[in-house]
Amino acid sequence: VYGASKQAGEERVLAACRTALVVRTSWLYSEYGNNFVKTMLRLADSRPELRVVADQIGSPTYAGDLADALLKMVDQLIELPAEVVHAQYAGIYHYS
């Protein structure tokens, strides 16, 4: 359900704006806020053994790395004529 709702949202964005760029990421973490990495580190300090579910696989993505990648993407695209960006680069991208 979670993945299907994300995909539906992405498809609606692309349908509403055919020139949109959607960037997918996964398991975002940083030193701020709550996230899986911080939770595991906190629990590792307070428990002799950790138990986690085995039916979920992810690729943790550092928020700073994602921000850098997005800025580089914008820097590269801003130099191109709009019609080139619209025709060649609109769509869904993955970064993790």
Q: Which of 2, 32, 93, 95 is catalytic?
A: 2
Decide if 2 is catalytic: yes
Residues 6+ apart with CB under 8 A from 12: none
Task: Spell out the long-range contacts of 55-59 with Cβ–Cβ below 8 A and sequence spacing 24 or more.
Answer: 58/26, 58/27, 59/26, 59/27, 59/96
Catalytic residues: 2
